[in-house]
Amino acid sequence: MEWRFTDDRPIWQQLTEQLTLRILKGEYPPGSRLPAVRELAAQAGVNPNTMQRALAQLESDGLAAGGRTAGRTVTEDAAVIEAAKKARAQEAVALCLQILEELGYSKPDALEFMKEELKHE
């Protein structure tokens, strides 16, 4: 998974999101140790202070724990991860529904449309 940044928002926020996504996808499995701040920052090509801030956010979101110096570990709390996954999925669906509504699909039509698409997968 590539690190991708847009121009309009602070980088640390985008880093938090992308780190979260990696955890939810299982790229950083529960209980595993995250790479050191410096290494992560070099991988992503960002300032270590920025990465530090993103990781701090990750900690307060409950997805990781551990001190700055010791290196952080991904949480093993399955409930937290599930909750985060659900929140992420909800965001995705809400966005999708919003776009369909803007395109003019009514709610029943939107549901039909989704069912069709899933059949073709």
Partner 1 sequence: MNDQLVTCTGLTKRYGGKTALSGLNLELGRGRIVGLLGPNGSGKTTLIKILCGLLQPTEGAVLVDGQKVGPSSKAIISYLPDRMYFADWMKATDLFDLFADFYADFDRVRAMSMCASLGVTPSDRLKSMSKGTKEKVQLVLVMARKAQLYLLDEPIAGVDPAARDFILSTILTNYNEDGTVMISTHLISDIEKVLDEAIFLKDGQITLHDTVDNIRERENKSVDALFREVFRTHDLEGGAF
Residues lying near partner 1 in the complex (CB under 8 A): 5, 7-12, 38-39, 41-42, 44-50, 53
Helices 11-25 & 78-103 angle (0-180, nearest 10): 110
Q: Are 63 and 25 in contact (CB under 8 A)?
A: no
Instruction: Provide, rounded to whole angstroms, the least separation between the CB of residue 52 and partner 1.
Output: 10
CB of 28 to partner 1, least distance (A): 21
CB of 36 to partner 1, least distance (A): 11
Going by C-alpha positions, the residue among 22, 20, 83, 12 that lies closest to residue 54 is: 12
Q: Give the largest CA-CA distance in the chain.
A: 53
**Would you say 69 or 116 has its CB closer to partner 1?**
69
Looking at beta carbons only, is 23 or 41 nearer to partner 1?
41
